[in-house]
Amino acid sequence: MKVYESTDVRNVALVGHGNSGKTSLAAGMLFAAGVTNRLTRVDEGNTITDYDDEEISRKITISTSLAAVEWNKKKLNVFDTPGFNLFMYDTKISMAAADSALILVDGVAGVEVMTEKVWEYAEGFNLPRAFLINKLDRERSDFQRSVDNVIEVFGRHSIPVQLPIGAERDFTGVVDLITMKAFSYTPDGDGKGQEIPIPAGMKAQADEAHGALIEMVAEGKDELMEKYFENGTLPAEDIIAGLHDAVKEDKVFPILCGSALRNIGTDLIMEFMQTFCPDPTEHPALKAMVGDHEEAKSITDKDHVTAYVFKTVADPFAGRLSFFKVCTGVMKNDANLVAMRSRSQERLSHVSVVQGKTLIPVNELHAGDIGVVAKLKDVLTGDTLCEKGDSLEYPKVEIPEPSIAYAIGAKSRNDEDRMGNAVAKILEEDQGLRFYRDPQTKDFLLAGSGGQHIEVIVSRMKKRYNVEVELRQPKIPYRETIRGFADVHGRHKKQTGGHGQFGDCKIKMEPLERGKGFEYANAIFGGAVPRQFIPAIEKGILEAAERGYLAGFPVVDFKVTLYDGSYHDVDSSEMAFKIAGRKAFKLAMEQAKPVLLEPIMKVEVAGPVEFAGDLMSDMNGRRGRISGMDTKGATQIIRAQVPMAEMLTYQNDLTSMTQGRASFSMEFSHYDYVPALNADKIIAAYKAAATGEVEEDE
């Protein structure tokens, strides 16, 4: 592949709701450009950009793939992104490297939940946007209905630049409203249309839509508006230049039409990208931290080399692959750069461009272009590479914390030995995962965006690294506390041959505010308990509190005041006073009204408005407290506080309830009291398990 100047590169993210046709469009573009010799299909599992085993078997895009397409002496770097809510974090991360976004809308379903989500992402990254009404060959598809839906949700500046010829099975062509030319396509053809006259029955409709487009373009610039008022129209060159600027400045959001699966309109889509999507040098200046201050960095060849790593793939054969965008300068093959996070010296040997899983070596990449390099020593997603002596970092994309966790354990001893390495490699690749050990339950937890996300990871561990693991619902980290006061006397006295054991203490116990933990106060006067034994009493209390009183969960948020006691000159010891402290704690818990606490999660659910009633009812059934509601377009957002115990199966239930059209995020909020009925069940289960363990030991 030849080297392209910055102005000849277009970085376009294909985004949209799941099953809107992004992967099919990427396949059609590659076929039309001659990269492949036949039209590959998602349902056959042989597309260029969905090459991962899990993507092929599940027939969905799980992580962003890239494909470089050469078209009319321009280079289109196409990002095929996930559209299902569980994997949208990867879409967001990848969009940071794009310069524009083509939002695909299903011609039957219209604007869906993730359509609005990717619009928000694009706004956040200052990406110009266009729409493609896709799947117009399907039954019940309707271009005008979809256009009206887009305008209703995203505003009047969304306007058609194409019209479909025919509908549903009879969809065979496209009218280009910019050039006022019509093109006919052979279904399942090479994606290149044959020019035909605009059908007589569409002439009036096309003229009206052409006039509306010109008026919208003219609104963006005073000089164009004056020409429009003078002549009632604009010449073709003004329409093209004006529309390019309007797209770049987010004043117009063009709406295209096509069928990615049948490869209808693909060439016009690529021509639109090269003509109207801005090149990298037209992207707003990037924010970068230089030392302790922020600077704006324009994308230009005339600067030191800097690059932003937006994706990492742990390939079992090629090693770690780092995908990057050259932000400034011209990156040469075998360049020596510094990874700013780790300060490691990195040699970028064999710099390549990518088409799916195929790497194509290049000698250099200009500012704004996308590349990949293998086997960098200490470079991860979000890292910045720059020349030695420079000190610059581009901000890492912030993504939501994982919403669900599973306890994970190896199936066998051999798997246990290999599991750590496999998890470490997958964590390098997947920014939406967290792996940690719960300090209370001692479980190893693998946290992700949902059940299917974790299932994908487990399957990858088996296929890539031959590691089999078992998943189970994590233990809920309940805690115990007190609601009352206690004043008790703890004594440990034991006489054996020789020295005995004697420890004696009097304590008061009282509750603290939630989250205060534990406080220990020494109110001893007159040496009733020698100073060297006072810490031992505290240690005994803490050890007993860690083991719990009601159901084996740590006791928190209480204060103990040591106010009296006694000792024996010979028989007293640290151990004796520690045991006395334990006994005092247990006696105090009997008096102090012990209760269970449970973790309460802050939950935010986003789904279609029509499911709002079901979502609210379900939240109430989970002991949730609704804290707020918002409506954005066709999306209802519900905020609630819900016990963690009620959220373990929520992902699957939410998918069933909304046909997979809703998503949720969850994070820890606080601890609160467990209702008495629920607490009784938890305590009974603990006692039954403890009894079983005793019988087994016997």
Amino acid at 127: L
pLDDT single digits (tens) 26-51: 999 999 999 988 777 776 666 888 78
Residue 134: which residues within 8 A CB-CB, separation 6 or more?
20, 21, 25, 104, 105, 106, 107, 258, 259, 260
The arithmetic mean of pLDDT across residues 179-202, rounded, is: 92
CATH, range 598-677: 3.30.70.240
* Residue range 326-357, pLDDT digits in tens: 999 999 999 999 999 999 999 998 899 999 88
Burial classification of residue 55, based on how many CB atoms lie within 10 Å of its CB (0-12 exposed, 13-18 middle, 19 or more buried): buried
| 387-424 residue pLDDT tens | 998 989 999 999 877 777 888 998 888 888 889 889 99
Assigned superfamily of 8-199+252-282: P-loop containing nucleotide triphosphate hydrolases (3.40.50.300)
Asked if 105 and 15 touch (Cβ cutoff 8 Å), the reply is: no
Average pLDDT, the chain: 91
- The proportion of the chain whose per-residue pLDDT surpasses 90, expressed as a percent, equals 66
Q: Can you tell me the distance from the alpha carbon of 217 to that of 212, in angstroms, rounded to the nearest whole number?
A: 9
Query: Which CATH architecture describes the domain 480-592?
Result: 2-Layer Sandwich (3.30)
pLDDT at 277: 97
Run of H or E including 9: strand 9-16
Domain with CATH 3.30.70.870 in the chain: 405-472
Using DSSP's 3-state secondary structure scheme, residue 356 falls into coil
Whether the Cβ atoms of residue 518 and residue 561 lie closer than 8 Å to each other:
no
pLDDT average, residue stretch 425-438: 89
Cα–Cα distance, 278 to 299 (Å, whole number) = 12
pLDDT tens digits, residue range 384-396?
Answer: 999 998 989 999 9
Confidence of residue 488 (pLDDT cuts 50, 70, 90): very high
Copy the structure tokens of residue 203.
Answer: 């002439």
Q: What is the mean pLDDT of residues 597-607?
A: 90
Total-model pTM: 0.81
pLDDT at 213: 94
Distance, CA of 63 to CA of 460 (rounded, Å): 13
Query: Is residue 142's pLDDT more than 90?
Result: yes
Asked whether the predicted pLDDT for residue 21 surpasses 50, the reply is yes
> Would you place residue 692 in the very low, low, confident or very high pLDDT band (cuts 50, 70, 90)?
low
Better-predicted residue by pLDDT, 160 or 62: 160
Higher pLDDT, 103 or 235: 103
State the helix-helix crossing angle for 143-154 and 113-124, rounded to 10 degrees.
50
Residues of the chain with CATH 2.40.30.10: 286-386
Question: Coil, strand, or helix at residue 655?
Answer: helix
More confident: 100 or 228: 100
Neighbouring-strand partners of residue 13: 79, 101
pLDDT exceeds cutoff 80 at 126: yes
Question: Averaged over 146-170, what is the pLDDT?
Answer: 95
Range(s) within the chain of domains with CATH label 3.30.70.240: 598-677
Q: What pLDDT shows up at residue 632? A: 75
| Confidence (pLDDT) at 363 | 94
Alpha-carbon separation of residue 657 from 167, 611, 634, 639, 653 (angstroms): 32, 8, 17, 17, 6
Q: Where in the chain is the domain with CATH 3.30.230.10?
A: 480-592
CA 107 remoteness from chain centre? 26
Mean pLDDT within 271-296: 93
Mean pLDDT of 481-498: 89
Q: Domain 405-472: what homologous superfamily?
A: Elongation Factor G (Translational Gtpase), domain 3 (3.30.70.870)
**3-state SS string over 46-112?**
CCCCCCCHHHHHHCCCCCCEEEEEEECCEEEEEEECCCCHHHHHHHHHHHCCCCEEEEEEECCCECC
Long-range CB pairs of 343-352, under 8 A, 24+ apart, other chains included: 344/377, 344/378, 344/379, 345/388, 346/376, 346/377, 346/378, 346/379, 346/385, 348/373, 348/376, 348/385, 349/373, 350/374
- pLDDT, mean of residues 226-237: 84
The per-residue pLDDT for 44 is 66
Across the range 610-625, mean pLDDT stands at 94
The encoded tokens of residue 501 equal 């054991």
User: Does the structure show a pLDDT above 70 at 612?
Assistant: yes
**pLDDT greater than 80 at residue 76:** yes
pLDDT value for 696: 44
CATH class of 286-386: mainly beta
pLDDT at position 697? 43
Q: CATH 3.40.50.300 residue ranges in the chain?
A: 8-199+252-282
